[in-house]
Structures are given as structure tokens and as C-alpha cells.
Structure 1
Amino acid sequence: MAERYSSFTRGGTGWLLQRITAAFLVVVLAFHFFQLHFVNHAAEVTFAGTQERMSTIGYFVTMVLFLVAGAFHGVNGVYNALVNQGLEGTPKKLVLAVLSLAGIALVAQGVWVAVAMAGWT
């Protein structure tokens, strides 16, 4: 019988953060979906309405945390999937560096847009 292999150390920080961000993403995605499809129907979502929502500190913080959690969860998941497929050595380090830089760039761009949408520039 084949052994089960995972690049996550069970009980390790990466393993724990992957699960915490997954749970957070499920809850915030439901909130986001509800807010933008039931409270504000898609046809009613406007630039001004987005600016108004983003200027509320609670909504702003929630959306920035949503962005950070999503970026971490995605980058960490892709990296560990590649490690599980046998990535090792220098290519492993290179992939980690590229994914980390891409994640940081995504978060930086997203926060910059969120700050601009909130009118705090």
C-alpha cells in the first residue's frame, strides 16, 4: 500500500496557518458574497458604493485581512503541492522565492487599492 506523503508537518505552523486561513476565507467569502449579491445586488454595486464601504474601518480591515489570508493560503498551497510532487533542492528554493515575491506584490497592490478606495491617499 502506498504511503501518504505531505510536505506539511502535522501540527506545524504551516499546517496550522493553512487551516486557519481556510476557515477564515470560508467565513469572509460568505460575508463578501452576501454583502455584494444580496444586500447590494450586482447591478447596484457602484464605484461610489465601494468607496463608501471601504471607508468604514471594519469593512476595510476585513477586506485587507481577506486579501492577506487569500494570498497566503494560495501561495502556501501551491508551494506545498509542488513540494508534494517532488520539488526539491535549488528549484524548490527558487519557487519559494518567486511565490513569496508574487504574494507580497499581490498584497502590496491590494492594500494600495484598498487605501485608495477608502479615500485615505
Structure 2
Amino acid sequence: MAERYSSFTPGGTRWFLQRVTAAFLVIVLAFHFFLLHFVNHAYEVSFLGTQARMQNVGYLLTMVLFLITATFHGVNGVYNALVNQGLEGTQKKAVLAVLVVVSVGLVAQGTYVALTMNGMI
């Protein structure tokens, strides 16, 4: 039988955050699908409707947290998958740096769009 290998240290911070973000994403994704596919059908979603939803501070904060959490969860998962495949040394540091820069850019752009839709910018 093959031995199980993971770059996550069981009980470590990254391991814990991966589980917490997964649980949060399941809840917020269910909320998202319910709101935008059952309460408002996809063909009813419009720019003005999005602006109206973003006026609600709770909705705005939820969507920004959704963005941050999904970005962290995805990037952390990709990084650890690459480490599990044998990424090490300088390549590991370079990949981590690129992923961090791209993540910060994604979160900054998404937050900017959310704040613009809210009318704060």
C-alpha cells in the first residue's frame, strides 16, 4: 500500500486554515447560489441589481471575505499540490513569490470592484 504524503503538517497553521476556509466557502457558496440562482434567477441578475446588493454592508463584507477566502484556499491548495509533487529549493520560493503577488493583485482588484459597485470609490 502506498504511503500517504502531504506537505501540510497535520495540525499546522496552513492545514488548519485550509479546513476553516473550506468550511467558510461551503457556507458562503451555498448562500451565493441560493441568492443568485433561486431568489434572483441568473437571467435577472443585472449591473444595477449588483450595485443595489453591494449597498448592503453585510453583503459587501461577505463578498469581500468570500474573495479573500477563496483566493487563499485556492492558492494554498495549488502551492501544496506543487510541493507534494516535489517542488523544492529556488523553484519553490519563486512559485511562492509569484502566487503571493498574483493573489494580492486578485484580492486588490476584486476589492476595488466591490467598493466601486458599493459607491465608496
| Shared fold per TM-score greater than 0.5 | yes
User: Structure 2, unaligned stretches of length 5 or more?
Assistant: none
Alignment of 1:23-102 (within 5 A): 23-102=23-102
User: Structure 1, unaligned stretches of length 5 or more?
Assistant: none
Following superposition, the deviation at residue 2 of structure 1 comes to 2.6
Cα distance in 2 for partners of 1:25, 1:55 equals 22
Alignment of 1:5-20 (within 5 A): 5-20=5-20
Following superposition, the deviation at residue 4 of structure 1 comes to 1.1
Cα distance in 2 for partners of 1:16, 1:47 equals 37
Cα distance in 2 for partners of 1:35, 1:2 equals 44
Name the % identity. 72
Cα distance in 2 for partners of 1:89, 1:4 equals 22
Normalising by structure 1, report the TM-score.
Answer: 0.98
Q: Residue in 2 aligned with 1:119?
A: 119
Count of matched residue pairs: 121
- AA at the equivalent of 2:82: L
Normalising by structure 2, report the TM-score.
Answer: 0.98
- AA at the equivalent of 2:90: T
After superposition, what is the alpha-carbon deviation per residue over 1:4-23, rounded to whole angstroms, capped at 9, x for unaligned? Answer: 11000000000000000001
Question: Would you identify which runs of 4 or more consecutive aligned residues in structure 1 move more than 4 Å?
Answer: none
Corresponding position: 1:107 with 2:118: no
Cα distance in 2 for partners of 1:4, 1:43 equals 46
